Copies of this chain bind each other. A is one copy, B any other.
Amino acid sequence: MSENIAVLFANEAFYLAFAGGDFEAMDELWSREGLVTCIHPGWNLLSGREDVMESWVAILANPNATRIKYRNAAATLFGELALVTCYEELEQGFLIATNIFIREDGTWKMIHHQAGASPVPPEEEEPDFPDTMQ
């Protein structure tokens, strides 16, 4: 599996945990080694694991928030760090996100997330994964 696909899988795991309201999975996929930071739409910066995970407890308890889907994910790798951009589709409209992952013990872990309001995204040019993997 290429690292690019591994990062896109980590990004997918984030949205699966989000949509599933699965706090344990969400907690698992955030870095435990680096300084994690998070910018939810309309929130101030959250810095540090405790504040970031507290925010997910609140967000995942909201049934509207967990109706999230993502699309147009694109990953760029920089050695042990990877940047993913994607759109988020919610009932009330679209958001656009910057998701940053760091490789810890061979696994891509989230270290930063920012989501903010977005216009309707363009059509996806191609699927994130080959057909056989869907």
Given the known interface contacts A39-B85, A96-B39, the answer about A34 and B76 at a Cβ–Cβ threshold of 8 Å is: yes
- Interface membership of A131, Cβ < 8 A: no
Q: How large is the interface on A (under 10, 10 to 19, 20 to 34, 35 or more residues)?
A: 20 to 34
- Interface membership of A130, Cβ < 8 A: no
15 A–B pairs (Cβ distance < 8 Å), ordered by A: A37-B85, A39-B118, A41-B116, A41-B117, A44-B96, A44-B118, A44-B122, A45-B72, A78-B81, A79-B80, A79-B81, A81-B81, A96-B114, A98-B98, A116-B116
Given the known interface contacts A34-B76, A44-B96, the answer about A117 and B114 at a Cβ–Cβ threshold of 8 Å is: no
Please give, as numbers and ranges, the residues of chain B lying within 8 Å of A74 by CB-CB distance.
45, 47
Give A44's nearest chain B residue, CB to CB.
B119
In the docked arrangement, what's the CA distance between A35 and B117, Å? 23
